[in-house]
Amino acid sequence: MTRRHTARHAARYLLLGAMSATLVGCGGGAGDSGTNDIDLGGGGLATPDDRDGDGIPNSEDPDFDASDLDGDMIQNNRDDDIDGDGVLNGEDDDIDGDGIPNASDPDEDGDGFDEATAENVCGDAAGTDAESVNNDWNDNCSVQRRNQFSDSLYSAGIQRVVYCSGQGNASSVDAYTDGEYGEGTEEAVTAFQTAYNAANPDFAIGIDGRVGPQTWAALQDALVVVQPAVLEGQGPFFDGYGVPGERCGPAEGDDAVVLFLNEITSGNAGISRLGWQLTKGATDATPVPFSTGSPFGQID
Partner 1 sequence: MARGGTVAIAALVGVATVALVGYLLSRGATEGAAVRQVPVTTSGSIQRQADETPSPFATDPDAVSLDAAAVGTEPPDAGADLPEAARPSDDAATARQDPIDVASLGRADLDDDAFVALVARLDQDPGLLAAVVDAFRAEVDPARLARLARLLGAVGGPTVTALAAELVYSTDPGLRAVGLDLLRRVQPGNGEARDIIAGLLSNGTDRETLMPVLQTLTRPGVVPVDERTRLAGQVSLLAGHDDPAVRRLGLSVLSRWSDGAENVTLMRDGLVDTHAGVREAAAYALVGRADPDGALTAELFAVADDADEDERVRRAAILALKNLPLDDADRARRLAIEGVLDLAPRR
Binding site for partner 1 (CB under 8 A): 56-60, 67-68, 72-78, 82-84, 94, 97-100, 102, 104, 116-119, 121, 131, 134-136, 138-139, 169, 180, 182-184, 187, 201-210, 213-214, 217, 220-221, 223-225, 228, 239, 241, 262, 269-273
Of 226 and 282, CB closest to partner 1: 226
Minimum distance between the CB of residue 283 and partner 1, rounded to whole angstroms?
23
Cα–Cα nearest to 16, from 147, 179, 124: 147
Of 58 and 234, CB closest to partner 1: 58
Residue 34 CA to residue 104 CA, distance in Å, equals 32
Of 7 and 206, CB closest to partner 1: 206
The length of the chain, given as a count of residues: 300
- How many alpha carbons fall within 13 Å on the CB side of residue 98? 17
Minimum distance between the CB of residue 189 and partner 1, rounded to whole angstroms?
12
Of 32 and 92, CB closest to partner 1: 92
Minimum distance between the CB of residue 99 and partner 1, rounded to whole angstroms?
3
CA distances to 21, 68, 102, 110, 146 from 86, in Å: 9, 11, 17, 15, 18
Beta strands in 137-289 (DSSP E): 224-227, 237-242, 260-267, 270-281, 284-289
Minimum distance between the CB of residue 167 and partner 1, rounded to whole angstroms?
11
Q: Give the single-character DSSP code of 251.
A: S
Q: Give the single-character DSSP code of 249.
A: B
Of 38 and 73, CB closest to partner 1: 73
290 CB-near residues (< 8 Å, 6+ apart)? 153, 154, 156, 157, 260, 276, 277, 278
Minimum distance between the CB of residue 52 and partner 1, rounded to whole angstroms?
13
